[in-house]
Amino acid sequence: MSEQPPVSPGPPRESIMVAAFEGWNDAGSAASHAIDHVADVWNAQEYGAIDPEDFHDFQVSRPTVSRLADGEKVISWPGTLVSTCAGVSTPDRRVSLVRGIEPSMRWRQFCGELLDFAEDLEVSTLITCGALLIDVPHTRPFPTFVSSESEHARRLWGLERSDYEGPTGILGVLGHDAELRGITVLSMWVGVPHYVAHPPNPKATLALLGQIEKLVGAPIDLGDLPDEAGAWARGADELAEDDNEIGEHVRQLESLMDEASLPEASGEAIAAEFEQFLRRREGGPGKQ
């Protein structure tokens, strides 16, 4: 009997992790709401969680009390959940999500535990999602900026390398530590108008979902989000009409963006806005 040739294992399965955290990195709750939406439409199932006891100041991120349908009282603690998306995974692609609140302390330990989950899931690419307040009019497309330290990723996606130096949040620390483990990191940000900063901001969430869809290579059912974004924009229009100072500011921002003739901000522009945003924060982003 002739010997059978070895079976080729085929291309390795791609494993992508997408992460967002409430708090300092999440203007208008745009990033955390993007993860929530993806988790819903891609049927995310819990894979693991990080115990919040060592990482959160519960006077800052307080637990919440609620009641179940049968009247039983339960306490929900702030934490970080890792889930896998059954609705998008294929034989050659697996997607996992990280959804949490920026920790108050022990960031290096926190990132180590989170990246242990990533290694268990054989994550090859980490996409971090954030949102920041900048000078952009609500009447124009919101600027998004995706950067990477990986030369291969920059060539593949036509990305830039961020030259930002200064204070950072949990996304920056997580991305740095992931790179040390050999994981390709894509850092994604959307700019949110500072004069309408109150969450939710479905227009900013839509901008992030468009980038996630492109980078992951899978369609995202947007559901009611476009209608919600339209309603949000009409509310912002009314604010600008009722407040002369805000209205004039919006017109100035529109003029500046139109003169630049850019539907999206350049990497240098949004990085400069990001640096201004960080420097405005009192006391820095948190304790490490």
Question: Over the stretch 266-275, which tens digit does the pLDDT of each residue have?
Answer: 555 555 555 5
- Taking CA 33 as the corner, what is the angle to CA 166 and CA 261, rounded to the nearest 5 degrees? 65
Report which residue type is found at 70.
Answer: D
pLDDT tens digits, 105-127: 999 999 999 999 999 999 999 99
pLDDT over 90 percentage in the chain: 49
**CATH architecture of residue range(s) 14-62+75-280:** 3-Layer(aba) Sandwich (3.40)
Q: How confident is the model at residue 6 (pLDDT cuts 50, 70, 90)?
A: very low
pLDDT tens digits, 162-189: 888 888 899 999 999 999 999 999 999 9
- pLDDT score recorded for residue 34: 97
> Mean of the per-residue pLDDT values for the chain?
84
- pLDDT score recorded for residue 24: 86
Q: How confident is the model at residue 13 (pLDDT cuts 50, 70, 90)?
A: low
- pLDDT score recorded for residue 263: 43
DSSP of 13-31, one letter per residue?
Answer: PEEEEEEEEESTTBGGGHH
- pLDDT score recorded for residue 224: 93
Q: Which of 86-90, 144-148, 151-155, 201-205 has the lowest mean pLDDT?
A: 86-90
Q: How confident is the model at residue 287 (pLDDT cuts 50, 70, 90)?
A: very low
Whether residue 281 has pLDDT greater than 70: no
**136-156 mean pLDDT:** 89
- pLDDT score recorded for residue 283: 47
88 to each of 32, 82, 93, 225, how far by Cα in Å?
19, 16, 8, 19
User: Higher pLDDT residue, 218 or 3?
Assistant: 218
pLDDT tens digits, 57-109: 888 888 888 888 888 888 888 889 999 998 776 667 899 999 999 998 999 99
User: Higher pLDDT residue, 269 or 136?
Assistant: 136
